[in-house]
Amino acid sequence: MSQKTVRLGITGLVLVLAFGGLLYSTLSEGTEYYKHVDEVMVNPDAWRGKPLQLHGYAANVGRKAESLDYRFDVESNGSTIRAYYTGVVPDTFKNGAEVVLKGTLGPDGFHVKPDGVMAKCPSKYDAAPVAGQDAKPRASLN
C-alpha cells in the first residue's frame, strides 16, 4: 500500500469514530421512552429513574391551595399511577383529559419535569359538522 492510501484510511477511520462518538453522546442524553401507563405498571421497577413520556388520562386532579403544586392520577386500561407536578398547566388539563407527561417514575409515583404536561381535550379538536350536508362518509376519489 502506498503512503497516501494509509493516510486516507486513517483519516477516514478517525472521522467515522468522531462522528459515531458525537452521535452516541447526543442521542444517549436526550432519549426518552414513550409508554402508556398500563405498559409501565406491568414492571414498574424496570422504569424507575429512566426518562419517560407517559401517556394516559388525568383523574382526581387536585391542586394545593395558593400554590402551583398538582397531584393527580394518570390512568390507562385499568392501570393507575399517581403523578406530581409543580407549575402552570395547559387550559385543557382537567379530569378525563388525555395527557402526555415528561418525567421520571419514583417509588411514590411519577414526577413530572417543569413544562412536562401536554394535555388534549378530544371534543375541542373534533371537526364540526358542515350545515346542509348529510352525515354519511363520502367515497374516496381514487
Task: Please write down the HEC assignment for all residues of 75-129.
Answer: EECCEEEEEEEECCCCCCCCCCCEEEEEEEEECCEEEEEEEEEEEECHHHHCCCC
pLDDT, averaged across the chain: 83
**pTM listed for this prediction:** 0.65
Confidence of residue 140 (pLDDT cuts 50, 70, 90): very low
Read off the pLDDT of residues 90-106 as tens digits, 9 standing for 90 and up: 888 888 889 999 999 99
Confidence of residue 110 (pLDDT cuts 50, 70, 90): very high
Q: What is the CATH number of domain 32-125?
A: 2.40.50.140
Q: What does the block give as the cell for 32?
A: 426518552
Please enumerate in sequence order all residues whose Cβ is within 8 A of that of 118, keeping only pairs 6 or more positions apart, or say none: 90, 99, 100, 101, 102
What does the domain layout of the chain look like in residue ranges? 1-29, 32-125
- Comparing 31 with 84, the larger pLDDT belongs to 84
